[in-house]
Amino acid sequence: MFIRRLPKFEYHTPASMAEALGLLKKYGLKARVIAGGTDLLLAMKKRAVAPEHLVNVKNIKTMKGISYNEKKGLKIGALVTLEELEGSALITEKAPALWDAVCVMASPQVRTLATIGGNLCSAVPSADTAPPLIAMGAEAVLSGPKGERTVLVEKLFKGPAQTKVARNEILTHIQIPKQPDRSSAAYLKLMRRAAMDLALVGVAAYVCLDKDEKTCKEVRIALGAVAPTPIRAPMAEQMLMGKEVTQALAEETGKVAGTVCSPITDVRASLGYRCDMVEVLTRRAVMEAFGRINGKKR
């Protein structure tokens, strides 16, 4: 595709959330938040969007950092880059499914710029951080003129490139609740090549076992790139609830997941192939999450 020079815009670098929200209020629909710019600047070059004002939020300290609290769980600032996530011991330990995702995203160069907040706010159906965050029950915390509000990541998306983050709001951080004992999650991504590609299919599975350490007490399965937004697969989740995880049951679960998605056929893969791959990846992600509870690493 022919990529042109960037259109003209005015660049703002607020030092605080209040200042950034003030700029969004002042310029309204003419303004856009920019973080790493890895999605937005390309969209501007393609003239898909042409904001007259860019509000760079990268100096807002409250949007940075990864921390863990025994009660609240994991807090990830919206400005945390994919590179930071990849190198974080907290992420590998407390949110391995998210770590699975960032390791297979983009290239090292892009990962140094791209932020987790930008990935969610871009809201492409194949956004890799969405399925693991949905599977782990994560919430997005937004700041706006009326203060803070919280939205489940699962409910954040409205359609391709559309979120419930209003144009006068900023995603400040993501909160992943403390994951219970005997639980784990995994994310698997299918690409046409081994790196630097968007997901043809992405599947995250979260499994929490009962005290007997066998029966599934809670299950969440989230699918990416196979519907207009990342989605849950509740019928597939029900297949596992109250039952022991076995290879055969994981296979059945995969088959159900393959029926709930609604992918498109495009240059990268056909609808039928994507549905088949949802089956395979769901089975594998469930078994991987289950295996991780028992301490087996890939």
Ligand X SMILES: Cc1cc2nc3c(=O)[nH]c(=O)nc-3n(C[C@H](O)[C@H](O)[C@H](O)COP(=O)(O)OP(=O)(O)OC[C@H]3O[C@@H](n4cnc5c(N)ncnc54)[C@H](O)[C@@H]3O)c2cc1C
CB of 275 to ligand X, least distance (A): 21
Choices 36-44, 87-95, 152-160, 277-285 (CB under 6 A): range interacting with ligand X: 36-44
Pick the binder of ligand X from 121, 174, 204, 250 (CB under 6 A).
121
Tell which one of 110, 141, 151, 227 touches ligand X (CB under 6 A): 110
User: Which parts of 242-281 interact with ligand X (CB under 6 A)?
Assistant: none
User: Binding to ligand X by residue 33, rule CB under 6 A?
Assistant: yes
Q: Residues 12, 27, 32, 221: which binds ligand X (CB under 6 A)? A: 32
With binding defined as CB under 6 A, does residue 117 bind ligand X? yes
Backbone angles phi, psi at 61, to 5 degrees: -65, -35
In the complex, the smallest distance separating the C-beta of residue 244 from ligand X, rounded to whole angstroms, is 34
User: Which residue stretch of 10-18, 28-36, 232-240, 289-297 sits at the interface with ligand X (rule: CB under 6 A)?
Assistant: 28-36
Quote the CA–CA distance of 285 and 253 in Å, as a whole number: 11
Binding of ligand X by 175 (CB under 6 A): no
Nearer to ligand X, 172 or 282 (CB): 172
Contact with ligand X (CB under 6 A) among 170, 190, 226, 240 = 170
> Is the CB of 133 or the CB of 286 nearer to ligand X?
133
Instruction: Between 74 and 120, name the residue whose CB sits nearer to ligand X.
Output: 120
Position 114 contacts ligand X (CB under 6 A): yes
Give the residues lining the site for ligand X (CB under 6 A): 32-40, 57, 78, 105-106, 110, 113-115, 117-119, 121-122, 126-128, 165, 170-171, 198
